[in-house]
Each structure stands twice: as structure tokens, then as C-alpha cells.
């Protein structure tokens, strides 16, 4: 018995932090989303499904976003898997990070009390000949349409609301993100109530409206 315990401790000492987290079905997306980070996330997701198709994956997000194609690689893999994927915003889930956060399993998407979420339209740089600029512009507009439809689907919001809100950087605190539909709940330790809690979305600052409650253009 002692030898077995000693062997387990020795094995843990040899494993890196990422390996220990992966063993507990935890994935952490930290920093910008680019091809290398997305490929690593996709490999981890596929590995965890191969290990157990019926056990949840816990996906923590603290990212300012980044490459759209890399973001979509992660998102598409999440939707492809049979496992439920619980997503957690720790710090910031912006741009592509917000897409990943919202793409978790419905009812299992969370934000910590002081987490922030930001959505916006995709950035794009165009250049070259006039015909090339037209092609690139069409691609950017189509990418924006796709991202808006994804958010509308997962947030259960009208596409008009998403299109309007993503015109500019649109920040939400944890409670506003819950009201908006990006997450399902705000997590905290009941024994350690959070300090400096942001104003919940159903209690807007005087003179301001809660996000997602304004009338869509043309509906008034």
C-alpha cells in the first residue's frame, strides 16, 4: 500500500501542471488565440473525448481573442464532440474568447464574479488590387455574419440585437453576460462572498439600459 502511494506521488512529481489538469479533464485557454494554441486545444479536446465520451470537459477561458480561423477550429471541435463541455470565464473572454465561452454546453457556461466578456465585429486588413480588396471585404462581411449567427444561436438573442451590439466593442460584466445569454450562471464560493460585485444587469446604472433589453431597430 505504501509502495503504491509512493509510486503515485512520484508520478505526479514527474507530470507537468498541464498534464495534471488534463488528467482531471481541465483545459485552459490563456492568451491570444492563434493557430498553435488552437491546434493544442483541439488535440486536448479530441484526446479527452477518446478517453471518455460521457464525462464532462471543463474548459477555462482567459483570452482577448485573436485569429478568427483559429477560433472557429476550437468552436467547431467543441460542437463536434459528444462530451458536454463546461466553459468558465476567468478574467476576460473577448472576441473569439467570447465565442468559445458561449459555445459551451447550454446550462454549463459560467463566469466568475469579476470576469468580463466582450463581443465585437471581426477585424480585417485589406490591400492589393481593387478586385482583391473587394474579395477580402466580402469575406470579412461573411465572417461577421457567421459570428453574429453563432452568438445569436447560443445567446438566444435576435440577430438584429447581436448585429447592433457588435458594431463596436461591447463589454459586459459577469451578470450582464448572464442576462445576455453568453453564460448561464455566475460562480462564487458561498463561504467567501465576492467583494466589489458589479451591478447586475437587471439593476442598470441610472440613465442606462440593461444590455439586450433595448428594442431592435424598427420594432418601436
Nearest one of 146, 77, 78 to 108, comparing CA atoms:
78
Compute the distance between CA of residue 193 and CA of residue 92 in angstroms, rounded to an integer.
20
Compute the distance between CA of residue 57 and CA of residue 115 in angstroms, rounded to an integer.
20
**pLDDT: which is higher, 133 or 119:** 119
Please compute the mean of the pLDDT values over residues 113-120 and round it to a whole number.
97
Cβ(27)–Cβ(44) under 8 Å?
Answer: yes
Q: Domain spanning 17-186: which superfamily?
A: 2-enoyl-CoA Hydratase; Chain A, domain 1 (3.90.226.10)
The pLDDT, as a whole number, for residue 66 is 96
Nearest one of 213, 119, 209, 105 to 163, comparing CA atoms:
119
Cβ(102)–Cβ(155) under 8 Å?
Answer: yes
Over residues 81-110, the pLDDT tens digits come to: 999 999 999 999 999 999 999 999 999 999
The pLDDT, as a whole number, for residue 155 is 98
The pLDDT, as a whole number, for residue 190 is 86
Compute the distance between CA of residue 8 and CA of residue 188 in angstroms, rounded to an integer.
32
The pLDDT, as a whole number, for residue 196 is 83
Compute the distance between CA of residue 65 and CA of residue 33 in angstroms, rounded to an integer.
5
**Cell 471581426 maps to which residue?**
122
Give domain limits for the chain.
17-186
Cell (9 digits) for 168? 463596436
Q: Is pLDDT above 60 for 10?
A: no
Cβ(34)–Cβ(95) under 8 Å?
Answer: no
Positions marked catalytic: 95, 120
Q: Are strands 116-119 and 170-173 parallel, antiparallel or unpaired?
A: antiparallel
Q: What percent of the chain has pLDDT over 70?
A: 81
State the CB neighbour count (10 A cutoff) for residue 211: 19
DSSP for 162-191 reads HHHHTTS-EEEEHHHHHHHTS-SEE---TT
pTM: 0.82
The pLDDT, as a whole number, for residue 200 is 57
Cell (9 digits) for 64? 482577448
Q: Is pLDDT above 90 for 146?
A: yes
Nearest one of 93, 91, 95, 48 to 72, comparing CA atoms:
95
Amino acid at each position: 500500500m505504501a509502495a503504491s502511494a509512493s509510486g503515485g506521488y512520484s508520478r505526479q512529481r514527474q507530470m507537468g501542471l498541464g498534464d495534471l489538469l488534463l488528467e482531471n479533464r481541465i483545459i485552459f485557454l490563456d492568451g491570444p488565440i492563434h493557430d498553435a494554441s488552437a491546434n493544442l486545444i483541439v488535440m486536448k479536446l479530441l484526446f479527452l473525448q477518446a478517453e471518455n465520451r460521457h464525462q464532462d470537459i471543463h474548459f477555462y477561458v482567459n483570452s482577448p481573442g485573436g485569429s478568427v480561423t483559429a477560433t472557429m477550429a476550437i468552436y467547431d471541435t467543441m460542437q463536434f464532440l459528444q462530451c458536454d463541455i463546461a466553459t468558465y470565464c476567468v478574467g476576460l473572454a473577448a472576441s473569439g474568447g467570447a465565442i468559445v465561452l458561449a459555445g459551451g454546453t447550454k446550462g454549463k457556461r459560467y463566469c466568475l464574479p469579476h470576469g468580463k466578456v466582450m463581443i465585437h465585429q471581426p477585424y480585417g486588413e485589406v490591400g492589393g488590387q481593387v478586385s482583391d480588396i473587394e474579395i477580402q471585404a466580402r469575406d470579412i462581411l461573411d465572417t461577421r455574419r457567421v459570428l453574429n449567427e453563432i452568438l445569436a444561436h447560443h445567446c438566444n438573442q435576435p440577430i438584429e440585437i447581436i448585429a447592433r451590439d457588435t458594431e463596436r466593442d461591447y463589454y459586459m460584466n459577469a451578470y450582464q453576460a448572464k442576462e445576455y445569454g453568453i453564460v448561464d450562471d455566475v460562480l462564487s464560493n458561498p463561504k467567501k462572498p465576492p467583494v466589489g460585485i458589479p451591478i447586475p444587469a437587471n439593476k442598470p446604472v441610472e440613465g442606462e439600459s440593461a444590455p439586450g433589453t433595448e428594442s431592435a431597430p424598427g420594432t418601436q
